[in-house]
Amino acid sequence: MEQLNIGMIGGGFMGKAHSLAYAAMPMFFWPAPAVPNRKMLAEIDEDLARESALRFGFEKYTGDWRKLVEHPDIHVVDIATPNNTHAEIAIAAAEAGKHIICEKPLALDAEEAERMLEAVERAGVVHMVAFNYRRTPAVALAKKFIEEGAIGNILNFRGTYLQDWSADPNGPLSWRFQKAVAGSGALGDIGTHVLDIARYLVGEIVAVNSVLRTIIGKRPIQQGGQDKLGASQKLVDAPKATVDVDDEVITSLRFSNGALGTLEATRNAYGRNNFLTFEIDGDHGSLYFNYERRDELQVFFADDPADRRGFRTIYTGPAHPYGENLWPIPAIGIGYGETKIIECYEFVKAVIEGTTVSPSFHDGHRIAQICDAIVESSEKQTWVDL
């Protein structure tokens, strides 16, 4: 069986998730399109690279991502670093002829995303942006129902992504609060996941009317090399620095097919953890999903007899998208890891078959354009057409 040599850059949260996916993908999808071989890992210095390579099962390591990108044995470059590094690495990887999977958001803004898209198209490599939540079987099932016409024409999309890890003002100034590193705040970090799902399930977004705001203007500067998300570290006495990104975004959406929608994203919603939800109304029924209950899709079909109408819950399992490759019993428990394993499968398959895969850099670029429009709309306090 063919082997695909992976060079992964970044050994943090996503480094862990992607490594798990490379190791586990052939255990789920067998015969695998190819076996991912964890060949080389790059981190910010040699020591961290050595430790991360040992931990995540990579053969080689380097403290300089350029060496990984240029290495002749590497087939795939996996970008799992903070947002401000994506463009430079992806463009170099494309020029070196490597296939690329890049974490979300693709770039800091649409201009950067466009340069990345041009580079991968020029090089003719396979490219993917890692919006993995659409791989949750219940989300893929929603897509299937919509395509089959089970809820008719879509009228409305209501999406949320609510977390609370940044609600405490003593939570540290992660890179996620710095515009130069993150590009934007809740919008790019979590709002983009909902935009990906909205485009995947409903269609293209053509206009937005938005409000962004920063709730906590300064945060404690963290000590030590490792970036921490809020709740895990409370720095009461540390010096503070400015947060220059949004904590919250609320936007109306207009879709090309006439559907309307809303998106609300914040990391300051106490009590919500990974509350990525959508409710979609069609003229023949409705669908509801909440990632905190990710084995379930709630469905309402208008043609049901009046005496038994109501939302019912489908627990995803072998009968549903990707289900035969996952676990043998419905509701046994899909996790974050499985969404990354499925993403890995789709990406490796595209590389081996030489096809395109979605969400691609085209999608990442379009989402960056939508984000830029959301920011512009909030500044001008008006609808912005795309």
Minimum distance from CB of 25 to ligand NAI (Å)? Answer: 16
Q: Closer to ligand NAI at the Cβ: 219 or 285? A: 219
Kindly report the length of the chain: 386
Tokens of 380: 């001008």
CB 300 within 8 A of CB 286: yes
Q: For residues 110-169, which are near ligand NAI according to CB under 6 A? A: 130, 132
Q: Residue 383 binds which entry of ligand SOE, ligand NAI, none, with Cβ cut-offs from 5 to 8 Å by kind?
A: none
- Does position 13 interact with ligand NAI (CB under 6 A)? The reply is yes
Q: With CA atoms as reference, report the closest residue to 152 among 38, 308, 284.
A: 284
Chain residues that interact with ligand SOE, rule: CB under 6 A? 163, 189-190, 267
Q: Closer to ligand NAI at the Cβ: 104 or 158? A: 104
Scanning 5-13, 194-202, 312-320, 361-369 for contacts with ligand NAI by CB under 6 A, the matching segment is 5-13
Q: Report the residue from 4, 9, 202, 259 that binds ligand NAI according to the rule CB under 6 A.
A: 9
Minimum distance from CB of 211 to ligand SOE (Å)? Answer: 20
The phi-psi region of residue 183 (left if phi > 0; otherwise alpha if psi is between -120 and 50; otherwise beta) is left
- Does position 230 interact with ligand NAI (CB under 6 A)? The reply is no
Q: Report the residue from 12, 152, 323, 337 that binds ligand NAI according to the rule CB under 6 A.
A: 12
Q: What stretch of H or E contains 299? A: strand 296-301
Q: Residue 145 binds which entry of ligand NAI, ligand SOE, none, with Cβ cut-offs from 5 to 8 Å by kind?
A: none
- Does position 294 interact with ligand NAI (CB under 6 A)? The reply is no
Within 231-286, residue ranges assigned H as helices are: none
Q: Closer to ligand SOE at the Cβ: 32 or 173? A: 173
Q: Report the residue from 6, 8, 14, 117 that binds ligand NAI according to the rule CB under 6 A.
A: 14
Q: Closer to ligand NAI at the Cβ: 99 or 104? A: 104
Q: Closer to ligand SOE at the Cβ: 194 or 314? A: 194
Q: What stretch of H or E contains 251? A: strand 248-255
Q: With CA atoms as reference, report the closest residue to 100 among 111, 82, 86, 110.
A: 86
Tokens of 47: 């020591």
Q: Report the residue from 24, 44, 92, 216 that binds ligand NAI according to the rule CB under 6 A.
A: 44
Report in angstroms the alpha-carbon separations of 150 from 142, 154, 280, 290, 330: 10, 10, 12, 20, 21
- Does position 196 interact with ligand NAI (CB under 6 A)? The reply is no
Integer distance in angstroms from the first to the last C-alpha of the chain?
45
- Does position 192 interact with ligand NAI (CB under 6 A)? The reply is no
Tokens of 342: 């499925």
Scanning 25-33, 41-49, 93-101, 239-247 for contacts with ligand NAI by CB under 6 A, the matching segment is 41-49
